Structures are given as structure tokens and as C-alpha cells.
Amino acid sequence: MSSLYVKLFTNFYTHRKTLRLRAMIDDAAFWIPPRLWAYAAENQPDGIFKDYTAKEIAQLVGYTGDAPSMLQALLKAGFVDDDPLRIHDWQEYNGFHQTFAERAKKAASARWSKSPSTPSPDKENKKIRGGDETSIASSMLQASSPVILSQVENISAEKELTRINTELNKRGALTEYAKGSPTYLRIKQLTERQAVLRQQLGVVA
């Protein structure tokens, strides 16, 4: 179970924004925003979804209706803002997730810097948005010395691997998407990270 959480006010179910959303997508209005917030806490701590399509967002929250209509409803009701696509007032109510993520990244960089033979994740963990950039996964797989995890890090890695496996199962095979599309790149990124975690944990694929 994840240790992360998001703020959900008690009047969410009777708030006029929720009622507006319900008028457009029925009872799905009661669970789509919380699921979107939960996904953001774990995967998009800045609350920005500019590289996600409506279909991808619908898949992530488990909505099986018309994806573009769902996204337009979220925009009209005020749960999501446009340009860039982002969760409304995310920084005000759940911005601590981005702070935690940045702290974790700095801590990871500090740990990596103690090992002169291991490349820094800041240099290697480039966003895969096209081109032949070297990812953290490929660089770690090429490292000559094994990564030794503490008990806490081991538990964290296991949780991350579980989340990645779940998302990959939902998205399907890489060959189902056009090369270079956001979903294709996301699956490629997840697959590489999955390989790293499996190596760290000693999991046989």
C-alpha cells in the first residue's frame, strides 16, 4: 500500500463543481477526480498532464466512456485547467508531493555521488521524448558493480515495481502504439525502469 495521500475535502461529493461534472458524466464524477489526484501524487507530482492524451488519462483512472468527453467535462467543471493541461489548484492543496519528489531526487543524487564509478542520475535520467538520449535504465544496466539496497530502499523499490507492472498491464504492448507517441515513449520509459528495479531486487523476468 502506498504511503502517499491527497487532500479530499468532506464537501467534495456535494460541491457544485462535482455536481456540474456529474451532470455531464453521471456518477463517474464521484471517483474520477480522486483517482486522477492519486495518480498525480505517485506519477505527476507537479500535477501537470500536458503530455497525456484524453485516452491515456481515461485509461489511467479506469474510465471506459468517451475519453474526449470526459476530459472536456473535467475542464468545464473546473477540476482541470488547460494550457498546459493540469489539475486545478494542485500546488495549493497537494503541492507537497512535488516538494517531496524533489527532495527524494536530491537525496538520490547525493547517494549516487558517493560512488565515483556510478554515473549521476541527474545526467543519465533524461526524459525520453524522442531521439537517442541515454536513460537511467540503460546506464544502470551497464554498471559493473551491483546496486545494494537498504531494507527501506528495497521496500520502496518493490512498491515502485508493482506500480510499474500494473501500469504496463493496463497500457498493453509497445507494438500497439505509434513509435514516438506519448504512450509509446511512456511504455518504453516504464520498461527500462522495470528492468533496473528487477536487477536491483534480483527478480527474474
Please tell me the pTM assigned to this model. Answer: 0.48
Q: Who wins on pLDDT, 45 or 107?
A: 45
Give residues with Cβ within 8 angstroms of 85, minimum separation 6.
48, 49, 50, 52
In the block, cell 494542485 appears at 90
Give start-end residues of each CATH 1.10.10 domain in the chain.
12-94
Torsion sign (Cα): 69, 72, 77, 81: positive
C-alpha span between 125 and 139 (Å, rounded): 9
Work out the average pLDDT over 152-180: 78
Identify the architecture of domain 12-94 in CATH.
Orthogonal Bundle (1.10)
